[in-house]
Structure 1
Amino acid sequence: MKLYGIKNCDTVRKAKKWLEANNIEHTFVDFRVDGLTQADIEAWLEHTSWETLFNKRSTSFRGLTDEQKADIDQAKAIALMLEHPTLIKRPVLAMADGVMVGFKEADYQGALL
């Protein structure tokens, strides 16, 4: 199980703390430091939609040009997320049988305990 995010994100910290408190073994991947591949994103998209993964409410999204924001489809979203990993809604918890995007304690509890 891998938890993807950035270390200074409050939501990622909450998810990490919850996993540790519940003794759930995981590896943390900081995609700013460790990087991210197209294969990672495509694997997540087998279990969730690009619309769920792509954070249009982020500061990073607001910083994009109008041209970059226009006509976003899955291919363009993947390219933008690779170029600007902070466009990814955090955290992403990748498990053997799926992914969870974002952190809600009740969702984690239901899926992992």
Structure 2
Amino acid sequence: MNKIYYLSTCDTCKKILAQINDISKFELIDIKTNPLTEAQVEEMYNYTKSYEKLFSKRAQLYKQLNLKEANLDEAGFKKYLLEHYTFLARPVIIYNNQIFVGNAAKTVSSMLEIVNQ
């Protein structure tokens, strides 16, 4: 199943989703109204082999909780991903057994090239 984990209140996510030609190919999961489950985080981990790759170090809560100083390990990253939606690097797009994490220009470009074929 193709999925998009996003935040409906995020303008960047909206802009990226608007560039997908056929959004109906995806299950859209708004992580603010549907908190991540352990199974969902594990599914993403199976693609990335790293919780840290799924984690947003730009989240304001990351700074507020001083997590940079905490030297998080993989278990720590997973814990915070499950605790609050803000820690997921958004959007996360799973399409045809590939994953695209975050909104970096290169990531978005690669994703759109594949998804819009």
TM-score (norm 1): 0.84
- Measured against aligned partners, the alpha-carbon deviations of 1:62-100 in whole angstroms (never above 9, x if no partner) come to 12145x851311111111111111111000012341211
Aligned partner of 2:54: which letter? L
CA distance in 2: counterparts of 1:37 and 1:61, whole angstroms: 20
Give the unaligned 5+ runs of structure 1: none
**Identity score, percent:** 30
Q: In the alignment, which residue of structure 2 is the partner of 1:55?
A: 56
Q: In the alignment, which residue of structure 1 is the partner of 2:22?
A: 23
CA distance in 1: counterparts of 2:91 and 2:31, whole angstroms: 10
Aligned partner of 1:87: which letter? F
Partner of 1:34, secondary structure, is: coil
Structure 1 residue 110 displacement after superposition: 2.6
Matches within 5 A, 1:84-95: 84-95=84-95
Aligned partner of 2:84: which letter? H
CA distance in 2: counterparts of 1:12 and 1:82, whole angstroms: 20
Aligned partner of 2:4: which letter? L
Q: Which runs of 4+ in 1 moved over 4 A?
A: none
Q: Is the 8 A contact 2:19 2:112 kept in 1?
A: no
CA distance in 2: counterparts of 1:10 and 1:81, whole angstroms: 21
Q: In the alignment, which residue of structure 2 is the partner of 1:111?
A: 114
Aligned partner of 2:65: which letter? L
Q: How many pairs does the alignment contain?
A: 110
Q: Is the 8 A contact 2:55 2:77 kept in 1?
A: yes
Aligned partner of 1:108: which letter? M
Structure 1 residue 51 displacement after superposition: 2.2
Give the unaligned 5+ runs of structure 2: none
Partner of 2:4, secondary structure, is: strand
CA distance in 1: counterparts of 2:89 and 2:5, whole angstroms: 10
